[in-house]
Chain A
């Protein structure tokens, strides 16, 4: 079945440093979604990328979808303590009439103030 892998599993940074997490799918994706889960919280949708090579920005966050639509990245510039949490990518299953998301294991970001 489809697999979605994320690296790194953990990342600890000093406040103000940049952070990047990478997502790779075993299959070509029609789109990819990113979610953030604060400690003790629930996943919250951040963004969806659809087009090959697409780049979207949300303030300090930059999301990119690979040309082959099999990988994606999330880059945070100048991290803040509010960025702490686990970042998940999720891709829809390939083929069939059903649409369901497969989540990666996530990257846990901690920020030292």
Chain B
């Protein structure tokens, strides 16, 4: 049973480009969470999704950021028109149910140049 898989591990984008970050949850897990870790800051919740539904996106910036978790395939965090301030580590976690232990992926480190 593979763990939570995130790809790519490292992503470099120029200002104005789009970044797409992927997260494949553990087998049997239908709850996915995205967190962001800005340089020199702690982790912050971004969004909570179940299959085909966004449950809580209260931590998502209002513009340029979106997330989805389709019926088939991985969860995607999409950042349009990236800016330098988007440079961060983005972590995904999954759990089998709403309030059970979540397992984290290795993260995607986004660098905007």
A and B: bona fide binding partners: no
B-side residues, CB < 8 A to A, are none
A-side interface residues toward B, CB under 8 Å? none
